[in-house]
A and B are shown apart, each in its own frame.
Chain A
Amino acid sequence: MPKLIIDNIPVEVAEGTTVLEAAQSVDIPIPHFCWHPALGKAGACRVCAVKMLDGPVKGIQMSCMLPVMEEMVVSTTDPEAMAMRRSVIEWLMINHPHDCPVCDEGGECQLQDYTIAGGHGIRRYTGTKRTHVNQQLGPYIEHEMNRCIQCYRCVRFYQEYAGGTDFGVMGSAGRVYFGRFQDGPLESPFSGNLVDICPTGVFTDKTARFRARYWDYDMAPSICQECSLGCSITPVARYRELLKIIGRRNDAVNAWFICDRGRFSAATPVNNPLRPRTPRIEGREAGWDSALDAIVQRVSELLKNHGPGCIALVGSQRLSLEGMALLPELSTIMLADAPCYFCDERERVQTSAAVTGLTGAISASMADIRQADCIAIVDVDLMAEAPMMVLAVRQAWRSGAGVYSIGETVDLPCECTAVATLDDVPLATAQRPVIICGTSGFTTARQYVSLPMAKGEPVKISCILPGPNSFSAALFSHEHAAISLEQAISSGRIKGIIAVEADIPPELSADIPVIAALDWRNTDTVAAAQIILPTTAWAEMDGTCINNEGRAQHFRKTMNPGLPVHGLNPAGHPSHLHRTIPPGGDLRPAWQIIDELIVRMGGTRTTEQLNGKWEKLRHLDAEGDGLPIYEL
């Protein structure tokens, strides 16, 4: 571990670390544009100049290109280094437009920050600014090439990291252009990351353009709910509207990036003005008290007429851990069997088999995938079911891993050899082999964990699950020996269903006389229910979910619920209504409603949702890596 001194601070970092990273490790920020932790060094922007005062290298050096060496003495504040950095900013500002007030990046722009920090204020270049023609890159990303500072991050991400082929760099000298050969939507399913990595406003999120400034954002660390991988995200909201989603770093899961599905499709249902926003009884709006009482009353009637076991409590694979944990208690108090966490019997069996078959030793994280040297993909369309896994597989392939597919052929942005069975994959001779499968392929994959290895670690498994919180659902289902709703209904005893954020197939609930639905989405179940209790969406509450690896992650409340101000009928102005809750905002987290029902059925109020073995998750750091539940 080389020791060096940066700005009089002694630093000791691992071999191979750059001076820039070494400085960051002791909280000394060095300006940078082209360097990005996930993309590595490029040496293009030259703004990370530092002065080497002593040691093996002397003079002005680019800190992103220079690996640390013993006895280096670095100054980031030397006048020579600062003059160089100021020059770079001046050069970049020769052509960068002064359009910050009308630029969507304003306030969250690296160039803006460093221009101000670097002290360049007076323009000495008196010529005109270079201009480019912008391209239409599809419905999600706005292109404004005049703002480009040629850091090459976009093309390095798009082509090298994500394997995209329809976007690149053209031209030379001062005419370098980043775009497509012609206008057209970006083809990569990871194109949205251009917005995140562009240090200035060339690529901005078209879906949220001109809606808010950085300092007005409602933000919180959160977890994507679009698939079972549980990528870390930062949702951005303003005026009760979820505006956009930004990728958030989590080295154990998604690393730096997220997929376009997570980025661009999560906000619409949350913002939907027509989603359940008030309790309803038989289609009519009702107060919380009357709606809750109506459920209690109907449950009591059913119990009187049909006896115990006539109620089915239905959870789902998108319900948070807190809600799932309270359901069994409500079941008991309603004299019902264990809650149904799954509707479909096959899905329950397969998911439970996968989740109970996984252990901390064999469950592969996405970091494990990225570091694997042999990957077998068994019968799962990753691009459809877990897009970010594709990106992880590509990173492994870029580092030399062999990638093999069995069964369903998948279109991956890396070389992939199709083989007949897992026996044809050289798992036994690999150092860090991983099998990626769906729940249907888990049992087969599981047998390879005990494969005798020539010299490497035993095979690990990453099993893609059906929903964002399937892992928890399977755990509870297993713990309470629960059956699926399909099975429960086939017994003929079920007369009433309480669906908690559950998507019950209409044919399954067709003959059930009493249905109550707790949900924030407009589902078929909500449409069929006589009593509807609106719940908060994931962005409007704190909660916990467990991803496909078995990693419990906490998500925080980003915004207050309510109808987005954007789109409210202006005819109501001036408003004569004075209330404490915003319109459409009287929603409650599902677990709170369950708790309330428990109380009204004669039970005791819960003070903590996570008890017993879940207690450790109460104070899970939402900004951390999460916690594999195997460690509980």
Chain B
Amino acid sequence: MGAGHAHRLYRHADSPVHALPPHTKLAATLAFVVVVVSTPREAMWAFALYAVLLATVARQARVPAGVLLRRLLIEIPFVAFAVLMPFVAEGERVDVFGLSLSVDGLWGAWNVLAKGTLGVAASVLLASTTGLRELLLGLQRLKLPPLLVQIASFMIRYGDVITDEMRRMRIARESRGFEAAGVRHWGVLAKSAGALFIRSYERGERVHLAMVSRGYAGSMPVIDEVTASRAQWSYALALPFAALAVCLLGWTL
């Protein structure tokens, strides 16, 4: 994974969604997902409307439907879980094609599938329209504790470096004829993991030296700040507000 993965998720384009300040997008995505999660599952049409809303955003952001759908695959483990639900859940049962299924379980499966999918789709839209750097700036702007943002930022900066070291170690192992084939090889792999930890930690110490050498005294200087205009906020928040309207309808109807 690491930053490399993130790069694959990010799609460069010149769209109004890409141009939005990152913290407005983060806030909008979070608000949208909260609204979706709070919607009663019986209001099936509401989820269809949410999907339409997301599709509109995707269109605006010029994220092709195929890309979006492919990235939904990350959900598969939970689809499996959802499929199980009707069989294991309690309560009133109904016969479908000769199988006795729990009504509550069916609703539960629908609930998890619908909300989970919408959640993943919203996150994917966020990730594909916002670069790594911007995301960090957005988190910083949303008043996440600075130390946490710094840790995240170092993690992203060095994710690739460390993944690369791990890959080199694997190549070195394989060049010497080692093929990890089962539990008995765990010792060798764990040694690699241990070595990787030592390298990472020592690199952390060296990075710290480099920082101290350039005047670091415990807090990072703020070099970039992102700001958003009123118009940008209202553009970004159009999504969660539209969703909220749908949600309220879902509760009243």
The answer to whether A and B come from one shared complex is: no
A residues in contact (CB < 8 Å) with B: none
B residues in contact (CB < 8 Å) with A: none
